[in-house]
Amino acid sequence: MIKVLDLELELWKTYNCIAGTDEAGRGSLAGPIVIAAVILPRGFQNIFIQDSKKLNFLQRQKAYQIIKEKALEYKIIFKNVKEIEEKNPLATTKEAMIEAVKLFKNKPDLYLIDGKEKLEIDNIKTLSLIKGDSYSINIAAASILAKVSRDLFMQNIHNQFPIYNWYNNKGYPNKIHLEAIFLHGICNFHRKTYEPIKSLLKINCNLEKIKNKYKKR
């Protein structure tokens, strides 16, 4: 059953300009973290804008085009592997979410953030919502932009490293991806601070022990 995401219908009574933000790729072993932020028009509703995880490929593509056409503004920010390794996934994500909202020409009265992490931004009220992409249409829109943009990136770099099957797994640790890492090692798109890669890079690592730990995935 399609759910109309109506959280903003109440919030728009108090806040004229509301933005939402979400990320894609924090749990991936390879590739960037992608953050999107979206400002939809006041009163906007569309049944195609849902949590990106609940949409199939064609639905996400349709929703992606709707958002790009109808949003007052949107920003999409990529954080590369080096940035993720130097800081950490959470810090990198929060940094990008702050960067995105500061790039808006329309300054939001309220910034909705998917998750439990708090953001502090000068002169902008923020509200963190667990599973926010299931309630907020702005967060759901951001989740779609982030996922579609990141999926396209991973599909493009799949051609450079087809052994990892990124076209299908998008860098996440499924069986084929893990087996390719165990057999062929890693490349420059892999995150060396993530397990099992971190353990594999240790001197005298026990490869069989690590493989057994992950073989059921």
List Cα–Cα distances, 38 to 104, 193, 217, in angstroms.
Answer: 9, 30, 34
Neighbours of 19 (CB within 10 A): 32
What's the CA dihedral at 148, 120, 108, 61 to 10 degrees?
10
CB atoms within 10 A of CB 175: 13
Whether residues 115 and 177 share a domain: the answer is: no
Q: How many domains does the chain have?
A: 2
> Is the residue at 1 inside a domain?
no
Report which DSSP code applies to 51.
Answer: -
Q: Which one of 108, 138, 155 terminates a domain?
A: 155
Q: Is residue 2 one of the residues assigned to a domain?
A: no
* Among 107, 136, 155, residue at a domain's last position: 155
Do residues 18 and 112 share a domain?
Answer: yes
Check residue 210 and give its pLDDT: 82
Q: How far apart are the C-alpha atoms of 50 and 19, rounded to whole Å?
A: 15
Helix, strand or coil for residue 124? strand
Cα distance between residue 44 and residue 114, in whole Å: 19
How far is residue 21 from each of residues 28, 63, 174, 188, measured CA to CA in Å? 19, 16, 27, 28
Q: Are residues 108 and 201 in the same domain?
A: no
Q: Let me know if residue 203 belongs to a domain.
A: yes
pLDDT of amino acid 36: 98
Pairing of strands 73-79, 33-39: antiparallel
If asked whether residues 146 and 180 sit together in one domain, one would say no
Q: Are residues 124 and 22 in the same domain?
A: yes
- Both 170 and 63 in one domain: the answer is no
Q: Is residue 16 part of a domain?
A: yes
Radius of gyration of the chain (CA): 19
The pLDDT value recorded for residue 70 is 97
How do residues 165-211 score in pLDDT, each as one tens digit? 999 999 999 999 999 999 999 999 999 999 999 999 998 887 788 88
Q: What's the domain range around 105?
A: 7-155
pTM, to two decimals: 0.93
> Rounded distance, CA 76 to CA 183, Å?
34
pLDDT of residue 216: 59
| pLDDT for position 132 | 93
Q: Are residues 12 and 98 in the same domain?
A: yes
| Residue 97 placed within a domain | yes
Say if residue 99 is in the same domain as residue 166: no
With a cut of 70, which residues of the chain have pLDDT below it? 1-2, 216-217
Q: Spell 50-70 as b/e; 16+ CB within 10 A means b.
A: bbbeebeeeebeebbeebeee
> What is the structure's pLDDT at 206?
79
d(CA 30, CA 166): 9
Domain boundary residue, one of 155, 178, 193: 155
For position 209, what pLDDT does the model report? 83
For the stretch 26-39, pLDDT in tens is 999 999 999 999 99
Instruction: Dig out the tokens for 155 from the structure.
Output: 């599909």
Same domain, 21 and 127: yes
My answer on whether 28 and 109 are in the same domain is: yes
pLDDT score recorded for residue 74: 98
Same domain, 87 and 187: no
Both 78 and 176 in one domain: the answer is no
CATH number of the domain where residue 83 is located: 3.30.420.10
- Let me know if residue 199 belongs to a domain: yes
